[in-house]
Amino acid sequence: MYPVKKTIHSLFNANLVGVMLICAASALIIAAIFALTFTWFATHLITIENKWFAALFTTSIGILTGVGGWFMLPSLIVVIAGFFQDTIIRHVEQKEYPHAASRAELAFWPEFLHDLRFTAWSLLLNLLILPFYLVGVGFVISVALNGYLIGREFFESVAGYHLGKAQAKILRRQHRKVVFSGGLALTLLTLVPGLNLFAPVIAVIWMVHVYQALPGNK
């Protein structure tokens, strides 16, 4: 259920260190663009004459954007992973599961557009639950929500690599507890400083092992 050791082993055995570094750089760039863009719009749409209050406002917006982006990261890892997903699955399966490795390649643009739709929907849901933070249950709801979303999306992507999207959905429903628990673990990983930069790669590897461990795939 929790292929922690296998996932760590695959990071190095499947020669994915380079992909991890590129993925981390991508996450940092996306986070920086998000923070700078939001801060720019906020400071240019609202005019404050007093320089001290203007500086305080800009700093506060920057901090709030950073904190918001931190908790929005689970929604962003799918679109980041989409750029490397095919490579990660292929490398891991060729090293760890050569008997089951698929030679099929994912169509980039349909998958990328799907990832963008998922990210937009996920961000919307995360924005809708923000009021729950005011009553002290926002974190729990956020982890549960993103655990479901991340588990579903990454499992269906990996399973769909072999079975197609329709069959992957059916398989995910049959093993919903395993997929959800994996999604919870990956969601918590996205909140750990440093490790969260590598979450997109780790999530794909994790679900490769989950999929291959299911009855009938061994």
What pLDDT does residue 66 have?
A: 64
Per-residue pLDDT band at 199 (split at 50, 70, 90): very high
- Residue count of the chain, please give it: 218
What pLDDT does residue 131 have?
A: 85
Burial class (CB in 10 A: 0-12, 13-18, 19+), 119: buried
Which of 65, 56, 71 has the alpha carbon at shortest distance from 32? 65
Q: Kind and range of the H or E element at 186? A: helix 176-189
The mean predicted confidence, pLDDT, of the chain is: 85
Which two three-digit tokens encode residue 148?
């479901």
What pLDDT does residue 112 have?
A: 85
What pLDDT does residue 61 have?
A: 67
Which of 147, 25, 162 has the alpha carbon at shortest distance from 86? 162
Burial class (CB in 10 A: 0-12, 13-18, 19+), 214: middle
- pLDDT over 90 at 126, yes or no: no
22 versus 59: the higher-pLDDT residue is: 22
Residues of 79-101 as b/e, b for ≥16 C-beta within 10 angstroms?
bbbbbbbbebbbbbbeebbeeeb
What pLDDT does residue 19 have?
A: 92
CB neighbour list of residue 187: distance below 8 Å, 6 or more residues apart: 74, 143, 146, 147, 150
Q: What is the pLDDT of residues 4-58, one digit of tens each?
A: 999 999 999 988 989 999 988 988 887 777 777 767 776 666 666 667 776 776 6
Q: What is the pLDDT of residues 160-193, one digit of tens each?
A: 999 988 999 999 999 999 999 999 999 999 888 8
- pLDDT over 90 at 99, yes or no: no
DSSP structure string for 95-129: HH-TTT-------HHHHHHHHHHHHHHHHHHHHHT
3-state secondary structure of 217: coil
- Cα torsion 135, 139, 144, 148: sign: positive
What pLDDT does residue 27 have?
A: 81
Alpha carbon of 44 to those of 19, 30, 32, 54, 69: distances in Å? 37, 21, 18, 11, 20
Which of 125, 128, 186 has the alpha carbon at shortest distance from 152? 186
Q: What is the pLDDT of residues 134-145, one digit of tens each?
A: 888 988 999 999
- The answer to whether 183 and 144 have CB atoms below 8 angstroms apart is no
